[in-house]
Amino acid sequence: MTEALLKHPRLISLEGGEGAGKTSALIAIRDLLQSHGHEAVLTREPGGTPLAERIRELLLSPHEEALAPETELLLMFAARAQHVREVIRPALQRGAFVVSDRFTDSSYAYQADGRGLDRALVEELERKVVGLKPGLTLLLDLDVREGRARANGRDLWPDRIESEQDDFFERVREGFRRRASAEPERFRVIDASRSPVEVGAAVSAAVARWLENQA
Ligand code: Z5A
């Protein structure tokens, strides 16, 4: 079991509410990293390995039996433990950049701020099970209703978490914003209300500046 929490300069995460545009931001970051000659591994949470994707299914499909908040948290971390061991650490060890669509900040925002679980429990799991934190986190910040309207426009049935009420997502958004204010050296907050092209450009510019400062 790990005890130390290492901030890794080649681990980048994207965070935000639904409909914030993380998918195109991920592509913009990959293109930028590749243009600088870096290998970029794109991945997502919950998921990123075959087993973790099965846990994702369990987490996101609606069930007749309500999922306890603690079960939800532990399944998020079960998927993350597998993802870190099978994908993230090996990629970082060979010198690649890893860009993850969500990482542990989502567990703080959704399970601690959203569901009301004890933050200390999330901290302990982060330290003992994950041991890694991103060197850079881009928070795509967007009004909750606007994000939901975008996501609804996709014509997909809402998953179990997407079926929550607006007040849950407001707590999640506030939780992300508080984390960003508390760690300004790690977070870059991107206004995601703009067009996809403008958001992509803001994301690329933030990553490019960050890369320059690493050199
Ligand atoms: N979760 C958790 O609770 N705890 C954890 O620890 C982790 C996750 C890791 C699954 O994540 C759920 O798991 C998520 C958090 C929880 N639940 N929720 N809600 P996910 O990342 O797979 O789910 P998501 O955030 O809901 O994905 P999303 O809605 O697909 O968000 P997105 O990736 O940021 O959006 P997108 O696919 O890029 O865009 C969505 C739509 O908006 C699409 O039709 C786009 O064309 C449109 N779009 C995107 N950008 C724009 C702009 N700029 N203007 C207009 N329209 C746009």
Compute how many other C-beta atoms are within 10 angstroms of the C-beta atom of residue 191.
11
Q: What is the pLDDT averaged over residues 136-153? A: 94
Amino acid of residue 119: R
Output the DSSP codes for 25-87. HHHHHHHHHHHTT--EEEEESS-SSHHHHHHHHHHHS--SSPPPHHHHHHHHHHHHHHHIIII
Q: What is the pLDDT averaged over residues 139-147? A: 97
Tell the residue nearest (CA) to atom 3 of ligand 1.
110
Report the residue among 44, 56, 67, 102 best suited for mutation to probe ligand 1: largest number of ligand atoms under 8 A from its CB.
102
Distance 112 CA to ligand 1 centre (A): 19
pLDDT of 1? 61
Cβ < 6 A, ligand 1 pocket: 16, 18-24, 45-46, 76, 101-102, 106-107, 110-111, 150-151, 153-154, 161-162, 195-196, 199
Torsion, CA 101, CA 104, CA 105, CA 107, rounded to 10: 110
Tell the residue nearest (CA) to atom 40 of ligand 1.
19
Distance 61 CA to ligand 1 centre (A): 16
Q: Which domains does the chain have, with CATH numbers?
A: 6-214 (3.40.50.300)
3-state secondary structure of 101: strand
Q: What pTM, to 2 d.p., does this model score?
A: 0.97
Compute how many other C-beta atoms are within 10 angstroms of the C-beta atom of residue 50.
9
Distance 102 CA to ligand 1 centre (A): 9
Task: Among 39-43, 188-192, 193-197, name the one with the lowest average pLDDT.
Answer: 193-197
Residue 2 has pLDDT above 70, yes or no: no
Q: Tens digit of pLDDT for each residue in 51-105?
A: 999 999 999 998 889 999 999 999 999 999 999 999 999 999 999 999 999 999 9
Q: What is the pLDDT averaged over residues 29-54? A: 98
On the CB side of 177, how many CA atoms lie within 13 Å of its CA? 12
Tokens of 19: 């409909």
Mean pLDDT over the full length of the chain: 95
**Nearest atom of ligand 1 to the alpha carbon of 153:** 44
Q: Which residue is associated with the tokens 């508390």? A: 182
